[in-house]
Every structure is written in C-alpha cells, then in structure tokens.
C-alpha cells in the first residue's frame, strides 16, 4: 500500500512577524492585525504551493492560557498554552508526523533551525519565506492576468482567415 506523503510548512509566527519590517511596524500598533496579515499571506502561499501550513504563536508568558487551534482555509493556526514555546510545539508536532512527510520550518531562531535539521526537516529563514511568498504572489498574478486576457478577447474574427472574414462582412452589410 502506498503511503500518502504530506508537505508541511510550519511557521514560527512571532519570529516571522519580528523579522519582516512591514509586520513588525504593524505589530507596534496592532498585534492582532499583524498576526492576521501573516495568516492571510500564508493562506495565499499555501493555496499556491499546496503545502499544509501551520502557524504557531506562542503564549509562553500569557497567564492561564490554554492551547487553541483554529482551522482556517488551507492552514492551521495554533496558539500554544502557558509555558510552551513555539519551538517546543514545533518539535512535538514534528515527532507526531510520518518520517516520509516533507517538512519546512520557517524561523530565524538558529537553535530551532539546528533542531529542525536534526529531525530531518528543512529550515527556511524569514527572508527566504518572504522571497518565496513574493514569487508565489507574482506567479499567481501572472497566471490570473494571462487567463484574463484569454477571457477578455475571445472573438471569432481573431480565429478566421481574411477571406472568410470578408465574406461574412459582405453578408452583414447586405442586410
């Protein structure tokens, strides 16, 4: 029996927010807005790449917080419980999946990158994730604009030879 191989992208949420200038600036005024912007970007990326994405926000210093898991379109958002870091959640998650699954972890935390590599996953820095995301958006935009061009102009006259067009035009004018 063939085993289904899953492809995961696991994102250390606050690590990425603090690494991307636009999200970092937004977080100063609106942390929730910054989280939602990151979530929206990862949803788009996940739709385009087909990765199952998991964004982990830690609540390490939040008193009495319980683990909260939200299923969103194409992704899962996890808020860890009190005294649990995003790193420890990511490590625990990696232990729970098949060794055949493809896993990329997005973080700038060097220690976490080493642990991830030791567990057989790939690491991706915040900068690399941003570049991948921008490329995916660009390819999606190109794909949408080229399909729009096909829709905008799909006329019969574009597909007929000049002689046939001339005959049709003469028929039209005789009416």
List of residues 6+ apart from 66 with CB closer than 8 A: 81, 82
pLDDT by residue (tens digit) across 7-54? 899 999 999 999 999 999 999 999 999 999 999 999 989 988 888 999
Kindly give the pairing relationship between strand 68-72 and strand 75-79: antiparallel
Task: Give the pLDDT confidence score for residue 154 in this predicted structure.
Answer: 65
The order of strands in the sheet holding 122-124 is 68-72, 75-79, 52-57, 7-12, 102-106, 122-124
Task: Give the pLDDT confidence score for residue 107 in this predicted structure.
Answer: 92
Radius of gyration of the CA atoms of the chain, in A: 24
Collect the ranges in the chain with pLDDT lower than 70: 1-3, 60-61, 144-154, 175
Task: Give the pLDDT confidence score for residue 3 in this predicted structure.
Answer: 63
Indicate the CATH number for domain 7-171: 3.40.50
Task: Give the pLDDT confidence score for residue 146 in this predicted structure.
Answer: 64
DSSP for 78-115 reads EEPPTT--HHHHHHHHHHHS-TTSEEEEE---HHHHHH
CA 63/CA 124 separation, integer angstroms: 31
Let me know: does 106 contact 12? Beta carbons within 8 Å.
yes
Kindly give the pairing relationship between strand 52-57 and strand 7-12: parallel
Task: Give the pLDDT confidence score for residue 129 in this predicted structure.
Answer: 95
Residue showing tokens 């788009």: 44
pTM across the whole model: 0.75
Residue showing tokens 């199952």: 52
Task: Give the pLDDT confidence score for residue 126 in this predicted structure.
Answer: 94
CA 102/CA 167 separation, integer angstroms: 60
CA 74/CA 47 separation, integer angstroms: 7
Task: Give the pLDDT confidence score for residue 27 in this predicted structure.
Answer: 92
Task: Give the pLDDT confidence score for residue 141 in this predicted structure.
Answer: 77
């Amino acid at each position: 029996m063939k085993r289904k191989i899953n492809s995961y992208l696991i994102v250390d949420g606050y690590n990425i927010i603090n690494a991307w200038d636009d999200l970092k600036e937004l977080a100063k005024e609106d942390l929730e807005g910054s989280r939602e912007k990151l979530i929206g970007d990862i949803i788009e990326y996940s739709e385009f790449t087909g990765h199952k994405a998991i964004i982990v926000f830690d609540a390490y210093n939040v008193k009495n917080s319980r683990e909260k898991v939200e299923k969103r379109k194409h992704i899962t958002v996890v808020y860890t419980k009190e005294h649990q870091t995003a790193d420890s959640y990511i490590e625990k998650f990696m232990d729970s999946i098949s060794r055949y699954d493809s896993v990329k972890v997005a973080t700038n935390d060097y220690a976490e990158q080493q642990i991830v590599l030791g567990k057989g996953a790939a690491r991706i820095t915040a900068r690399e994730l941003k570049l991948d995301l921008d490329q995916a958006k660009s390819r999606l935009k190109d794909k949408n604009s080229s399909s729009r061009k096909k829709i905008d102009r799909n006329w019969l006259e574009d597909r007929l030879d000049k002689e046939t067009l001339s005959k049709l035009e003469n028929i039209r004018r005789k009416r």
